[in-house]
Amino acid sequence: MKPAICVFCGSRPGKEPRYLQAAVFLGHLMASEGIGLVYGGATSGLMGAIADSVLEKGGSVIGVLPEFLSSKEIAHKEITELILVPTMHERKLLMYEKSIAFIALPGGIGTLEELVEVTSWNQLGVLSKPIGILNVNGFFDPLLQQLDHMVEEGFLDSQTREWLEVSADPEELFEKIIKRSRI
């Protein structure tokens, strides 16, 4: 099995066209470098855009989708492998197991929850995988400020905050993530 990066992102495209452009660029980059995609399995929004862009360049795409979301998020039928699971917990666990690293693109509450969970799991030692944030158009600035505030107030250790690689440039972030994953 080829190495794959799990990408968390919105099932909507967002209002800013740069979000969609970044997803497509990252997908093309991953495929051209022989890195597969693990993602939420939908056809819509940034999720569909990154999957399609990886496929366009001949890359491998694994989608993991809970059965109850397969009609709401419209399961992507043209990806390399679509895995239907019973629950959200099983979805996330499988996505985490199949990935060498994680990248968060803009998205909603689900994206935020997935990003926070893998960061927490790294902090607790459950995982030890690189985590990147593609900060397109400053989308994640408020979250990054909150994390810095948590460090300042003594609720988050600085090492956990430093694990998060952050860049507005997909290529720069990809290189940082690959370097930290040691493949």
User: Tens digits of per-residue pLDDT, 42-83?
Assistant: 999 999 999 999 999 999 999 999 988 876 658 898 999 999
Mean pLDDT of the residues in the chain: 94
pTM of the model: 0.95
SS (H, E, C) the chain: CCCEEEEECCCCCCCCHHHHHHHHHHHHHHHHCCCEEEECCECCHHHHHHHHHHHHCCCCEEEEEEHHHCCCCCECCCCCEEEEECCHHHHHHHHHHCCCEEEECCCCHHHHHHHHHHHHHHHHCCCCCCEEEECHHHCCHHHHHHHHHHHHCCCCCHHHHHHEEEECCHHHHHHHHHHHHCC
Please give the pLDDT value at position 122: 92
Question: Could you give all domains of the chain from N- to C-terminal order, each with its CATH number?
Answer: 4-181 (3.40.50.450)
pLDDT, average across residues 140-147: 98
Q: What confidence tier does 15 reach under pLDDT thresholds 50, 70, 90?
A: very high
